[in-house]
Structure 1
Amino acid sequence: MRKSYIVNSFLLLFILFISAGLFSCNTSKKVKYFQNIPDSGQLKAIAKAEYVPLKIQSDDILTVVVQTIDPQSTLVINSANLPTATTGSILSASNATLSPANTQIGSGYLVDKEGFISVPILGRIKLAGLTTTAAADTVKSVASKYFKEPVATVRFANFRVNITGEVLKPGVYVLPNEKVSVLDAIALAGDLTIFGKRDNVLLIRENEDGTKTPYRFNLKKTDVMTSPYFYLHQNDMIYVEPGPGKVSATDASQARYYTLIGSLLSVLIVLFTRK
Protein backbone atom coordinates (compact mmCIF):
# COMPACT_ATOMS: atom_id res chain seq x y z
CA MET A 1 0.00 0.00 0.00
CA ARG A 2 2.75 2.40 0.97
CA LYS A 3 4.76 1.47 -2.15
CA SER A 4 1.78 2.30 -4.33
CA TYR A 5 1.38 5.62 -2.55
CA ILE A 6 5.04 6.53 -3.12
CA VAL A 7 4.70 5.67 -6.82
CA ASN A 8 1.66 7.93 -7.04
CA SER A 9 3.60 10.70 -5.30
CA PHE A 10 6.46 10.49 -7.77
CA LEU A 11 3.90 10.52 -10.60
CA LEU A 12 2.45 13.69 -9.12
CA LEU A 13 5.93 15.24 -9.00
CA PHE A 14 6.50 14.31 -12.64
CA ILE A 15 3.24 16.00 -13.65
CA LEU A 16 4.21 19.12 -11.72
CA PHE A 17 7.57 19.34 -13.49
CA ILE A 18 5.88 18.90 -16.89
CA SER A 19 3.42 21.64 -16.01
CA ALA A 20 6.27 23.94 -14.99
CA GLY A 21 7.98 23.28 -18.32
CA LEU A 22 4.82 24.19 -20.21
CA PHE A 23 4.53 27.36 -18.13
CA SER A 24 8.13 28.21 -19.01
CA CYS A 25 7.45 27.78 -22.72
CA ASN A 26 4.38 29.99 -22.45
CA THR A 27 6.41 32.70 -20.66
CA SER A 28 9.13 32.49 -23.33
CA LYS A 29 6.52 32.99 -26.03
CA LYS A 30 5.25 36.13 -24.31
CA VAL A 31 8.66 37.83 -24.21
CA LYS A 32 10.20 36.64 -27.47
CA TYR A 33 10.76 39.23 -30.20
CA PHE A 34 10.14 38.64 -33.93
CA GLN A 35 8.19 35.41 -33.51
CA ASN A 36 7.38 35.25 -37.23
CA ILE A 37 11.03 34.46 -37.99
CA PRO A 38 11.39 30.66 -38.13
CA ASP A 39 13.83 28.98 -35.73
CA SER A 40 15.38 26.94 -38.53
CA GLY A 41 15.47 26.56 -42.30
CA GLN A 42 16.21 29.19 -44.92
CA LEU A 43 15.48 32.67 -43.60
CA LYS A 44 14.16 35.40 -45.85
CA ALA A 45 15.57 38.90 -45.98
CA ILE A 46 13.53 41.60 -44.22
CA ALA A 47 12.66 44.70 -46.20
CA LYS A 48 14.28 47.83 -44.82
CA ALA A 49 12.40 50.85 -43.55
CA GLU A 50 12.82 54.02 -45.56
CA TYR A 51 14.98 56.55 -43.77
CA VAL A 52 14.02 60.17 -44.37
CA PRO A 53 16.67 62.68 -43.22
CA LEU A 54 15.36 64.83 -40.39
CA LYS A 55 14.39 68.45 -40.96
CA ILE A 56 15.49 71.21 -38.64
CA GLN A 57 12.60 72.74 -36.68
CA SER A 58 12.05 75.71 -34.42
CA ASP A 59 13.42 75.20 -30.89
CA ASP A 60 16.04 72.73 -32.12
CA ILE A 61 19.56 73.31 -30.83
CA LEU A 62 22.31 72.92 -33.40
CA THR A 63 26.03 72.45 -33.19
CA VAL A 64 27.55 74.68 -35.88
CA VAL A 65 31.27 74.39 -36.55
CA VAL A 66 33.17 76.45 -39.13
CA GLN A 67 36.77 75.48 -39.80
CA THR A 68 39.41 77.42 -41.71
CA ILE A 69 43.18 77.40 -42.09
CA ASP A 70 43.38 79.77 -39.13
CA PRO A 71 41.44 78.22 -36.19
CA GLN A 72 41.54 81.49 -34.23
CA SER A 73 39.52 83.30 -36.90
CA THR A 74 36.41 81.18 -36.27
CA LEU A 75 36.89 80.71 -32.53
CA VAL A 76 34.06 83.08 -31.66
CA ILE A 77 31.68 81.01 -33.84
CA ASN A 78 32.72 77.62 -32.54
CA SER A 79 32.87 78.67 -28.88
CA ALA A 80 29.05 78.60 -28.73
CA ASN A 81 29.31 74.80 -28.96
CA LEU A 82 31.34 74.50 -25.76
CA PRO A 83 29.83 72.08 -23.22
CA THR A 84 27.61 73.23 -20.41
CA ALA A 85 26.58 71.38 -17.25
CA THR A 86 23.32 69.47 -17.29
CA THR A 87 21.58 66.69 -15.37
CA GLY A 88 19.84 63.49 -16.40
CA SER A 89 20.64 60.34 -18.34
CA ILE A 90 22.86 61.30 -21.25
CA LEU A 91 24.26 59.02 -23.92
CA SER A 92 27.94 59.56 -24.61
CA ALA A 93 28.68 59.86 -28.32
CA SER A 94 32.17 58.45 -27.86
CA ASN A 95 31.32 55.07 -26.42
CA ALA A 96 27.51 54.85 -26.73
CA THR A 97 27.01 54.22 -23.03
CA LEU A 98 25.09 56.04 -20.37
CA SER A 99 27.11 58.55 -18.41
CA PRO A 100 26.41 59.81 -14.86
CA ALA A 101 23.67 62.27 -13.99
CA ASN A 102 25.84 65.41 -13.99
CA THR A 103 27.19 65.53 -17.54
CA GLN A 104 28.61 68.02 -20.04
CA ILE A 105 26.70 68.51 -23.26
CA GLY A 106 27.06 71.03 -26.05
CA SER A 107 25.22 74.32 -25.89
CA GLY A 108 24.88 75.20 -29.57
CA TYR A 109 22.62 77.57 -31.48
CA LEU A 110 18.88 77.74 -30.86
CA VAL A 111 16.59 77.82 -33.88
CA ASP A 112 14.12 80.64 -33.18
CA LYS A 113 10.40 80.71 -33.97
CA GLU A 114 11.12 82.14 -37.40
CA GLY A 115 13.56 79.35 -38.23
CA PHE A 116 16.79 81.38 -37.90
CA ILE A 117 19.96 80.93 -35.88
CA SER A 118 22.09 83.91 -34.93
CA VAL A 119 25.81 83.30 -35.41
CA PRO A 120 28.58 85.76 -34.53
CA ILE A 121 30.15 87.31 -37.65
CA LEU A 122 27.80 85.36 -39.97
CA GLY A 123 24.58 86.96 -38.68
CA ARG A 124 21.12 85.40 -38.91
CA ILE A 125 20.86 82.28 -41.05
CA LYS A 126 17.59 80.50 -41.79
CA LEU A 127 17.96 76.74 -41.39
CA ALA A 128 14.45 75.54 -40.47
CA GLY A 129 13.11 73.04 -42.98
CA LEU A 130 16.59 71.91 -44.05
CA THR A 131 18.43 68.69 -43.30
CA THR A 132 21.70 69.02 -41.43
CA THR A 133 23.58 68.33 -44.68
CA ALA A 134 21.76 71.13 -46.50
CA ALA A 135 22.16 73.39 -43.46
CA ALA A 136 25.94 72.83 -43.52
CA ASP A 137 26.01 73.89 -47.17
CA THR A 138 24.03 77.02 -46.30
CA VAL A 139 26.38 77.93 -43.44
CA LYS A 140 29.39 77.30 -45.66
CA SER A 141 27.96 79.58 -48.34
CA VAL A 142 27.48 82.41 -45.84
CA ALA A 143 30.88 81.81 -44.22
CA SER A 144 32.58 82.05 -47.63
CA LYS A 145 31.81 85.75 -47.62
CA TYR A 146 34.04 86.21 -44.56
CA PHE A 147 36.59 83.38 -44.71
CA LYS A 148 38.65 81.70 -47.38
CA GLU A 149 37.59 78.13 -48.22
CA PRO A 150 35.71 77.39 -44.98
CA VAL A 151 34.37 73.96 -44.04
CA ALA A 152 31.08 73.82 -42.13
CA THR A 153 29.30 71.07 -40.23
CA VAL A 154 25.86 71.17 -38.62
CA ARG A 155 24.51 68.56 -36.21
CA PHE A 156 21.65 68.28 -33.75
CA ALA A 157 22.75 69.02 -30.20
CA ASN A 158 19.41 68.15 -28.61
CA PHE A 159 18.29 64.98 -30.40
CA ARG A 160 16.57 63.53 -27.36
CA VAL A 161 14.12 60.69 -26.95
CA ASN A 162 11.92 60.01 -23.91
CA ILE A 163 11.67 56.29 -23.06
CA THR A 164 9.30 55.41 -20.25
CA GLY A 165 7.15 52.59 -18.89
CA GLU A 166 8.25 48.97 -18.55
CA VAL A 167 11.93 49.32 -19.49
CA LEU A 168 14.92 48.72 -17.24
CA LYS A 169 16.30 52.27 -17.49
CA PRO A 170 13.53 54.78 -18.25
CA GLY A 171 14.60 58.36 -18.88
CA VAL A 172 15.41 61.03 -21.43
CA TYR A 173 18.29 60.10 -23.73
CA VAL A 174 20.37 62.47 -25.85
CA LEU A 175 21.49 60.48 -28.90
CA PRO A 176 24.82 60.82 -30.72
CA ASN A 177 23.46 60.73 -34.27
CA GLU A 178 20.32 61.29 -36.29
CA LYS A 179 19.68 57.79 -37.66
CA VAL A 180 18.35 55.99 -34.58
CA SER A 181 15.69 53.29 -34.68
CA VAL A 182 13.07 52.36 -32.11
CA LEU A 183 15.05 49.16 -31.44
CA ASP A 184 18.19 51.21 -30.78
CA ALA A 185 16.29 53.33 -28.26
CA ILE A 186 14.84 50.29 -26.48
CA ALA A 187 18.31 48.75 -26.28
CA LEU A 188 19.68 51.97 -24.74
CA ALA A 189 16.98 51.77 -22.08
CA GLY A 190 18.12 48.26 -21.13
CA ASP A 191 15.33 46.41 -23.01
CA LEU A 192 11.77 45.80 -21.84
CA THR A 193 11.12 44.26 -18.44
CA ILE A 194 9.41 40.89 -18.15
CA PHE A 195 6.11 42.75 -17.69
CA GLY A 196 6.32 44.99 -20.77
CA LYS A 197 3.73 44.38 -23.51
CA ARG A 198 5.88 43.63 -26.53
CA ASP A 199 2.94 43.63 -28.92
CA ASN A 200 1.75 47.12 -28.02
CA VAL A 201 4.66 49.60 -27.71
CA LEU A 202 3.45 53.17 -28.12
CA LEU A 203 5.37 55.88 -29.99
CA ILE A 204 4.18 59.50 -29.71
CA ARG A 205 5.63 61.92 -32.26
CA GLU A 206 5.36 65.69 -32.16
CA ASN A 207 4.52 67.29 -35.50
CA GLU A 208 5.74 70.65 -36.78
CA ASP A 209 2.40 72.28 -35.92
CA GLY A 210 2.58 71.10 -32.31
CA THR A 211 0.09 68.24 -32.65
CA LYS A 212 1.12 64.74 -31.65
CA THR A 213 0.72 61.52 -33.63
CA PRO A 214 0.52 58.16 -31.80
CA TYR A 215 1.72 54.92 -33.39
CA ARG A 216 1.90 51.39 -32.01
CA PHE A 217 4.55 48.75 -32.65
CA ASN A 218 4.31 44.98 -32.31
CA LEU A 219 7.82 43.82 -31.43
CA LYS A 220 6.75 40.20 -31.81
CA LYS A 221 6.68 40.69 -35.58
CA THR A 222 9.27 41.92 -38.05
CA ASP A 223 6.81 44.51 -39.41
CA VAL A 224 8.37 46.98 -36.97
CA MET A 225 11.50 47.04 -39.16
CA THR A 226 9.57 48.20 -42.22
CA SER A 227 7.41 50.78 -40.48
CA PRO A 228 7.68 54.46 -41.52
CA TYR A 229 8.04 55.17 -37.79
CA PHE A 230 10.97 52.77 -37.35
CA TYR A 231 13.50 55.63 -37.35
CA LEU A 232 13.01 58.17 -34.59
CA HIS A 233 12.64 61.93 -34.74
CA GLN A 234 13.82 64.43 -32.15
CA ASN A 235 11.55 64.59 -29.08
CA ASP A 236 9.83 61.25 -29.80
CA MET A 237 8.39 59.49 -26.75
CA ILE A 238 8.31 55.70 -26.40
CA TYR A 239 5.97 54.22 -23.81
CA VAL A 240 5.94 50.51 -22.94
CA GLU A 241 2.63 49.51 -21.39
CA PRO A 242 2.68 47.03 -18.47
CA GLY A 243 1.01 43.67 -18.99
CA PRO A 244 -1.51 42.02 -16.63
CA GLY A 245 1.27 40.09 -14.89
CA LYS A 246 2.60 43.34 -13.39
CA VAL A 247 -0.14 43.39 -10.77
CA SER A 248 0.02 39.73 -9.75
CA ALA A 249 3.78 39.09 -9.68
CA THR A 250 7.09 40.86 -9.22
CA ASP A 251 9.03 38.52 -11.46
CA ALA A 252 7.79 35.72 -13.72
CA SER A 253 10.90 33.64 -13.16
CA GLN A 254 10.59 33.83 -9.37
CA ALA A 255 6.91 32.94 -9.59
CA ARG A 256 7.76 29.77 -11.51
CA TYR A 257 10.29 28.61 -8.91
CA TYR A 258 7.98 29.50 -6.03
CA THR A 259 5.32 27.27 -7.61
CA LEU A 260 7.75 24.36 -7.84
CA ILE A 261 8.99 24.81 -4.28
CA GLY A 262 5.45 25.03 -2.93
CA SER A 263 4.42 21.87 -4.79
CA LEU A 264 7.46 19.95 -3.52
CA LEU A 265 6.77 21.04 0.05
CA SER A 266 3.16 19.93 -0.25
CA VAL A 267 4.16 16.46 -1.46
CA LEU A 268 6.78 16.09 1.30
CA ILE A 269 4.24 17.08 3.96
CA VAL A 270 1.79 14.50 2.64
CA LEU A 271 4.49 11.81 2.63
CA PHE A 272 5.53 12.50 6.22
CA THR A 273 1.99 12.69 7.53
CA ARG A 274 1.04 9.34 5.95
CA LYS A 275 3.90 7.41 7.57
Structure 2
Amino acid sequence: MKRCPKNNLALKCFLLLTILVIVSCGTTKKVAYFQDISLEKQSELANTARFTDPVIQSDDILSISIFTIDPTTGMVVNQAASQAISVSTGSVTGLGATPPTSGFLVDKNGQIDLSVIGKITVTGLTTFQARDLIKEKAAIVYTNPNVQVRFANFKVTILGEVAHPASYVIPNEKVSVLDALGMAGDLTIYGKRENVTLIRDNLGKKEFARLNLNSKEIFNSPYFYLKQNDVLYIEPNKGKAASLNSARTQTFALIGTALTVLIALITRL
Protein backbone atom coordinates (compact mmCIF):
# COMPACT_ATOMS: atom_id res chain seq x y z
CA MET A 1 0.00 0.00 0.00
CA LYS A 2 1.50 3.38 -1.09
CA ARG A 3 1.83 6.26 1.32
CA CYS A 4 -0.30 9.29 0.72
CA PRO A 5 1.71 12.17 -0.82
CA LYS A 6 0.08 14.51 1.68
CA ASN A 7 1.45 12.46 4.56
CA ASN A 8 4.93 12.68 3.04
CA LEU A 9 4.57 16.44 2.78
CA ALA A 10 3.61 16.71 6.45
CA LEU A 11 6.56 14.53 7.47
CA LYS A 12 9.00 16.62 5.44
CA CYS A 13 7.68 19.84 6.97
CA PHE A 14 8.05 18.40 10.45
CA LEU A 15 11.63 17.26 9.81
CA LEU A 16 12.57 20.63 8.31
CA LEU A 17 11.13 22.45 11.31
CA THR A 18 13.03 20.17 13.72
CA ILE A 19 16.32 20.89 11.94
CA LEU A 20 15.72 24.65 12.06
CA VAL A 21 15.02 24.56 15.80
CA ILE A 22 18.14 22.47 16.51
CA VAL A 23 20.36 24.80 14.46
CA SER A 24 18.94 27.91 16.14
CA CYS A 25 19.65 26.43 19.58
CA GLY A 26 23.21 25.34 18.77
CA THR A 27 25.75 25.79 21.54
CA THR A 28 28.63 28.25 21.31
CA LYS A 29 32.02 26.64 20.73
CA LYS A 30 35.45 27.77 21.89
CA VAL A 31 34.36 29.00 25.30
CA ALA A 32 37.24 27.65 27.41
CA TYR A 33 40.48 29.64 27.71
CA PHE A 34 43.93 28.25 26.76
CA GLN A 35 42.58 25.20 24.92
CA ASP A 36 46.02 24.29 23.58
CA ILE A 37 47.51 23.73 27.05
CA SER A 38 48.51 20.13 27.68
CA LEU A 39 48.72 18.70 31.17
CA GLU A 40 51.96 16.98 30.20
CA LYS A 41 53.61 20.29 29.25
CA GLN A 42 52.85 22.54 32.19
CA SER A 43 56.55 23.29 32.65
CA GLU A 44 56.53 25.09 29.27
CA LEU A 45 53.97 27.66 30.34
CA ALA A 46 56.39 30.13 31.91
CA ASN A 47 55.26 33.70 31.30
CA THR A 48 57.77 35.24 28.89
CA ALA A 49 55.88 38.50 28.34
CA ARG A 50 58.06 41.38 29.47
CA PHE A 51 56.69 43.95 31.88
CA THR A 52 58.02 47.47 31.48
CA ASP A 53 57.21 50.20 33.95
CA PRO A 54 54.80 52.78 32.51
CA VAL A 55 56.16 56.26 32.02
CA ILE A 56 54.49 59.47 33.13
CA GLN A 57 52.72 61.48 30.45
CA SER A 58 50.91 64.81 30.32
CA ASP A 59 47.45 64.75 31.97
CA ASP A 60 48.45 61.92 34.31
CA ILE A 61 47.60 62.40 37.97
CA LEU A 62 50.30 61.50 40.47
CA SER A 63 49.84 60.72 44.14
CA ILE A 64 52.91 62.16 45.89
CA SER A 65 53.65 61.87 49.60
CA ILE A 66 56.69 63.34 51.34
CA PHE A 67 57.60 62.19 54.86
CA THR A 68 60.33 63.78 56.98
CA ILE A 69 61.71 63.51 60.51
CA ASP A 70 59.36 66.34 61.43
CA PRO A 71 55.99 65.14 60.08
CA THR A 72 54.56 68.66 60.15
CA THR A 73 56.96 69.88 57.44
CA GLY A 74 55.86 67.27 54.93
CA MET A 75 52.22 68.07 55.54
CA VAL A 76 52.57 71.21 53.41
CA VAL A 77 53.09 69.13 50.26
CA ASN A 78 50.78 66.29 51.26
CA GLN A 79 47.87 68.59 52.04
CA ALA A 80 48.40 70.41 48.77
CA ALA A 81 48.12 67.09 46.96
CA SER A 82 44.61 66.57 48.29
CA GLN A 83 43.61 69.95 46.87
CA ALA A 84 45.60 69.84 43.64
CA ILE A 85 42.99 68.15 41.47
CA SER A 86 39.92 65.99 41.86
CA VAL A 87 38.76 63.67 39.11
CA SER A 88 35.75 61.37 39.32
CA THR A 89 36.39 57.90 37.89
CA GLY A 90 34.61 54.56 37.56
CA SER A 91 34.90 52.19 40.49
CA VAL A 92 37.01 49.06 40.65
CA THR A 93 33.86 46.96 40.63
CA GLY A 94 32.36 48.90 37.75
CA LEU A 95 29.07 49.18 39.64
CA GLY A 96 29.24 52.79 40.78
CA ALA A 97 31.35 55.89 41.22
CA THR A 98 34.40 56.12 43.45
CA PRO A 99 35.32 59.17 45.49
CA PRO A 100 37.22 61.84 43.50
CA THR A 101 40.88 61.08 42.77
CA SER A 102 43.32 63.47 44.43
CA GLY A 103 46.83 64.17 43.23
CA PHE A 104 49.12 66.38 41.17
CA LEU A 105 48.17 66.87 37.54
CA VAL A 106 51.03 66.65 35.04
CA ASP A 107 50.53 69.74 32.87
CA LYS A 108 51.02 70.12 29.11
CA ASN A 109 54.66 70.99 29.71
CA GLY A 110 55.18 67.71 31.54
CA GLN A 111 55.59 69.37 34.92
CA ILE A 112 54.07 69.14 38.37
CA ASP A 113 54.04 72.03 40.81
CA LEU A 114 54.90 71.07 44.39
CA SER A 115 54.46 73.48 47.26
CA VAL A 116 57.78 74.92 48.53
CA ILE A 117 59.78 72.63 46.17
CA GLY A 118 58.51 74.20 42.94
CA LYS A 119 57.99 72.84 39.41
CA ILE A 120 59.55 69.52 38.40
CA THR A 121 59.52 67.94 34.94
CA VAL A 122 58.43 64.30 35.21
CA THR A 123 57.19 63.24 31.76
CA GLY A 124 59.06 60.28 30.32
CA LEU A 125 60.01 59.06 33.79
CA THR A 126 58.75 56.02 35.64
CA THR A 127 57.29 56.56 39.09
CA PHE A 128 60.54 55.19 40.58
CA GLN A 129 62.62 57.70 38.62
CA ALA A 130 60.21 60.51 39.52
CA ARG A 131 60.50 59.50 43.18
CA ASP A 132 64.28 59.79 43.10
CA LEU A 133 64.11 63.16 41.33
CA ILE A 134 61.55 64.58 43.76
CA LYS A 135 63.56 63.24 46.69
CA GLU A 136 66.65 65.01 45.39
CA LYS A 137 64.75 68.31 45.07
CA ALA A 138 63.00 67.84 48.43
CA ALA A 139 66.32 67.24 50.20
CA ILE A 140 67.18 70.89 49.60
CA VAL A 141 64.20 71.93 51.72
CA TYR A 142 63.58 68.99 54.07
CA THR A 143 65.83 66.82 56.22
CA ASN A 144 66.08 63.18 55.08
CA PRO A 145 62.81 63.18 53.10
CA ASN A 146 61.12 59.92 52.22
CA VAL A 147 59.12 60.20 48.99
CA GLN A 148 56.40 57.97 47.57
CA VAL A 149 55.06 58.40 44.03
CA ARG A 150 52.40 56.39 42.24
CA PHE A 151 49.76 56.87 39.58
CA ALA A 152 46.46 58.06 41.05
CA ASN A 153 44.57 57.47 37.80
CA PHE A 154 46.14 54.35 36.27
CA LYS A 155 43.06 53.46 34.25
CA VAL A 156 42.06 50.73 31.80
CA THR A 157 38.73 50.44 30.02
CA ILE A 158 36.97 47.16 29.24
CA LEU A 159 34.11 47.26 26.73
CA GLY A 160 31.92 44.75 24.95
CA GLU A 161 30.94 41.28 26.09
CA VAL A 162 32.00 41.33 29.75
CA ALA A 163 29.84 41.18 32.85
CA HIS A 164 30.66 44.74 33.97
CA PRO A 165 32.00 46.97 31.15
CA ALA A 166 33.53 50.14 32.63
CA SER A 167 36.70 52.13 33.19
CA TYR A 168 38.73 50.79 36.12
CA VAL A 169 41.25 52.72 38.18
CA ILE A 170 43.90 50.24 39.31
CA PRO A 171 45.92 50.66 42.52
CA ASN A 172 49.14 49.27 41.03
CA GLU A 173 51.01 49.59 37.75
CA LYS A 174 51.44 45.91 36.91
CA VAL A 175 48.17 44.58 35.52
CA SER A 176 47.68 41.91 32.87
CA VAL A 177 44.88 41.32 30.39
CA LEU A 178 43.59 38.52 32.63
CA ASP A 179 43.63 40.80 35.69
CA ALA A 180 41.57 43.39 33.84
CA LEU A 181 39.03 40.86 32.58
CA GLY A 182 38.75 39.46 36.09
CA MET A 183 37.88 42.92 37.45
CA ALA A 184 35.22 43.25 34.75
CA GLY A 185 33.60 39.99 35.86
CA ASP A 186 35.02 37.89 32.98
CA LEU A 187 33.66 37.50 29.46
CA THR A 188 30.04 36.60 28.92
CA ILE A 189 29.16 33.40 27.09
CA TYR A 190 28.81 35.56 23.95
CA GLY A 191 32.33 37.04 24.09
CA LYS A 192 34.66 36.20 21.19
CA ARG A 193 37.63 34.79 23.08
CA GLU A 194 39.86 34.27 20.07
CA ASN A 195 39.71 37.88 18.93
CA VAL A 196 40.04 40.41 21.77
CA THR A 197 41.02 43.88 20.56
CA LEU A 198 43.48 46.04 22.53
CA ILE A 199 43.68 49.77 21.76
CA ARG A 200 46.69 51.66 23.12
CA ASP A 201 47.58 55.33 23.00
CA ASN A 202 51.29 55.39 22.22
CA LEU A 203 52.60 58.97 22.29
CA GLY A 204 49.49 60.34 20.62
CA LYS A 205 49.12 57.51 18.09
CA LYS A 206 46.60 54.70 18.33
CA GLU A 207 48.09 51.22 18.39
CA PHE A 208 45.93 48.11 17.84
CA ALA A 209 46.56 44.48 18.73
CA ARG A 210 44.60 41.22 18.63
CA LEU A 211 44.73 38.75 21.51
CA ASN A 212 43.60 35.12 21.50
CA LEU A 213 42.44 33.93 24.92
CA ASN A 214 42.03 30.41 23.57
CA SER A 215 45.79 30.07 23.13
CA LYS A 216 48.59 29.94 25.69
CA GLU A 217 50.59 32.21 23.37
CA ILE A 218 48.89 35.17 25.03
CA PHE A 219 51.45 34.77 27.83
CA ASN A 220 54.19 35.57 25.29
CA SER A 221 52.41 38.60 23.84
CA PRO A 222 54.04 42.04 24.30
CA TYR A 223 50.49 43.24 25.06
CA PHE A 224 49.88 40.80 27.91
CA TYR A 225 50.62 43.57 30.42
CA LEU A 226 48.47 46.66 30.06
CA LYS A 227 49.52 50.29 29.99
CA GLN A 228 47.87 53.45 31.24
CA ASN A 229 44.59 54.22 29.38
CA ASP A 230 44.53 50.91 27.45
CA VAL A 231 41.15 49.84 26.09
CA LEU A 232 40.05 46.21 25.73
CA TYR A 233 37.11 45.46 23.45
CA ILE A 234 35.49 42.02 23.45
CA GLU A 235 33.62 41.39 20.22
CA PRO A 236 30.31 39.49 20.35
CA ASN A 237 30.21 36.09 18.64
CA LYS A 238 27.51 34.70 16.36
CA GLY A 239 25.64 33.36 19.38
CA LYS A 240 24.94 36.96 20.44
CA ALA A 241 23.13 37.71 17.22
CA ALA A 242 21.20 34.47 17.59
CA SER A 243 20.18 35.38 21.13
CA LEU A 244 18.93 38.79 19.99
CA ASN A 245 16.76 37.03 17.43
CA SER A 246 15.59 34.32 19.82
CA ALA A 247 12.16 35.83 20.23
CA ARG A 248 11.71 35.93 16.47
CA THR A 249 13.00 32.37 16.15
CA GLN A 250 10.57 31.14 18.79
CA THR A 251 7.70 32.88 17.00
CA PHE A 252 8.62 31.25 13.69
CA ALA A 253 8.95 27.89 15.43
CA LEU A 254 5.47 28.18 16.92
CA ILE A 255 4.01 29.21 13.57
CA GLY A 256 5.79 26.34 11.86
CA THR A 257 4.56 23.86 14.47
CA ALA A 258 1.01 25.12 14.05
CA LEU A 259 1.24 24.79 10.26
CA THR A 260 2.64 21.27 10.56
CA VAL A 261 -0.18 20.19 12.85
CA LEU A 262 -2.70 21.83 10.53
CA ILE A 263 -1.27 20.03 7.48
CA ALA A 264 -1.30 16.72 9.36
CA LEU A 265 -4.95 17.22 10.29
CA ILE A 266 -5.90 18.12 6.72
CA THR A 267 -4.18 15.03 5.31
CA ARG A 268 -6.23 12.82 7.63
CA LEU A 269 -9.53 14.20 6.36
Give TM-score, length-normalised by structure 1: 0.76
The answer for the alignment partner of 2:44 in structure 1 is 45
Query: Relative to structure 1, is the Cα distance of residues 56 and 87 closer, same or farther in structure 2, using a 3 angstrom cutoff?
Result: closer
Runs of 4+ in 1 over 6 A off after TM superposition: none
Residue among 220, 225, 237 paired with 1:243 = 237
Which residue identity does 1:221 align to in structure 2?
Answer: S
The alignment status of 1:77 with 2:77, answered yes or no, reads yes
Query: Relative to structure 1, is the Cα distance of residues 98 and 243 closer, same or farther in structure 2, using a 3 angstrom cutoff?
Result: closer
Distance (whole Å) between structure 2 residues aligned to residue 87 and residue 112 of structure 1 = 18
Written as runs of structure 1 = structure 2, the 5 A alignment for 1:1-275 is 27=28, 29-38=29-38, 40-48=39-47, 49-82=49-82, 87-91=88-92, 97=93, 100-101=96-97, 103-208=98-203, 210-249=204-243
SS state at 2:150 partner: strand
Q: Mark the structure with the bigger radius of gyration.
A: 2
Distance (whole Å) between structure 1 residues aligned to residue 245 and residue 53 of structure 2 = 41
Gaps in structure 1 of 5+ consecutive residues:
1-15, 92-96, 253-257
Distance (whole Å) between structure 2 residues aligned to residue 194 and residue 155 of structure 1 = 36
8 Å contact from structure 1 (residues 81, 107) kept in 2: yes
Which residue identity does 1:72 align to in structure 2?
Answer: T
For residues 133-185 of structure 1, the C-alpha deviation after alignment (integer angstroms, 9 at most, x for no partner) is 11100000000000100000110011111111111100111011000011111
Gaps in structure 2 of 5+ consecutive residues:
1-18
The answer for the alignment partner of 1:13 in structure 2 is none
8 Å contact from structure 1 (residues 166, 193) kept in 2: yes
Distance (whole Å) between structure 2 residues aligned to residue 180 and residue 224 of structure 1 = 14
8 Å contact from structure 1 (residues 89, 98) kept in 2: yes
RMSD of Structure 2 on Structure 1 (CA): 3.1
Percent identity between matched residues is 46
SS state at 2:116 partner: coil
The number of residue pairs the alignment matches comes to 237
